[in-house]
Every structure is written in C-alpha cells, then in structure tokens.
Amino acid sequence: MAVSYYTAEGLQRMKDELNQLKTTGRSMIAAAIAEARDKGDLSENAEYDAAKDAQGLHELKISKLEELVGNARIIDESTLDATKIGILSKIKIKNLKSGKTNDYLIVAEEEADLKLNKMSIKSPIAKGLLGLKAGEKAKVQVPAGEIEFEVLEVGL
C-alpha cells in the first residue's frame, strides 16, 4: 500500500478509532459471541453465526486501519507552497455557471467531510484544481458534466 499524507489531527483520529476498535469493539463482539454460545446448539444458532460474521468484519476493519496508520505520514506544512492548490490548501472557488462561491480545505481522502468543507484531494474537483493559483480558471469534469471554476483565494 502506498504512503498517504494526513494532518496531525486526521492521523490522531484514525489512531483513536483503531484503539477503540481493538478494545471496546472487540470486547462487545466477544460478549455477543459468548451470549450466543450459551443459547445451545451452535449448528443451528443464527445468533452465533451473525456474531461470528460481525467479528470477521470487525477484524477486517482493524486490519485495514492498521495498514492505513502504518503507511501514514504527517504533512510538513513548512514544505507546502501556499500560492498553489495542493494538500492542506484553504481555497475559495467560484462556480462560474451558478455564481456560487465555496470555501474548502483540501485533505486526504480519509479526512474528507463536505459538511465541514473538507474536500478529498482525490475528488474530481480537487484533482481539476491542483496546482492552480488565485485568479486562474479551470474546467473540471465531474459526474454531472463539466463545471468551470475560478480560484478566488489560495492559502494554508
């Protein structure tokens, strides 16, 4: 798996989630398996099968998160160019068709949350704007078609 870059806050959130899954999550699943096992014949116990399936999915999630955390690197903000759009850029863009402006922070895919105006660097819009400076325009291909944006501000 390739190295991925995160903010210190984003990496800590992933580590916290991993810790919770390994402790509380595993305990809850073990309790559910024990409870189902106490209900008798395991060959015809749907509750036991469901608990074992949940355990498998839980362990898969832990494994994937461990891999992400293991390959994660914290972004050194001092090496970033504040004049061009890239990871950790705070941008203000204008949709030239609708006239609507939006502010976003460009982040790693796992940290993206559009409700918090955090856009994934892997999203079609971010990909189309990478490397641009304030005042530049770009036509970006999105699933709904092509949208033209103007970059109003770029910063860190």
54 in the same domain as 10: yes
**CB neighbourhood size of 65 (10 A):** 18
Any idea what DSSP says for residue 156?
-
Tell whether the model's pLDDT for residue 77 goes beyond 80: no
Quick one: 68 and 82 in the same domain?
no
Q: Do 111 and 141 reside in the same domain of the chain? A: yes
Residue 134 makes CB contacts below 8 A (sequence gap 6+) with 83, 151, 152, 153, 154
Q: Check whether residue 86 and residue 55 sit in a common domain.
A: no
Number of structural domains (the chain) is: 2
pLDDT digits (tens, 9 = 90+) for 78-91: 777 778 998 888 99
Query: 88 and 64: one domain?
Result: no
- pLDDT tens digits for range 15-54: 999 999 999 999 999 988 888 888 777 667 788 888 889 8
Residues 86 and 62 in one domain: no
Distances (CA, A) of 87 to 12, 51, 69: 18, 40, 18
Q: Which of 8, 58, 9 has its CA nearest to residue 29? A: 58
- Amino acid identity, position 91: I
34: domain CATH number?
1.10.287.180
On whether the CB atoms of residues 151 and 134 are closer than 8 A, the answer is: yes
Domain boundary among 74, 91, 124: 74
Domain around 89: 78-155
Residue 118 binned pLDDT confidence (cut-offs 50, 70, 90): very high
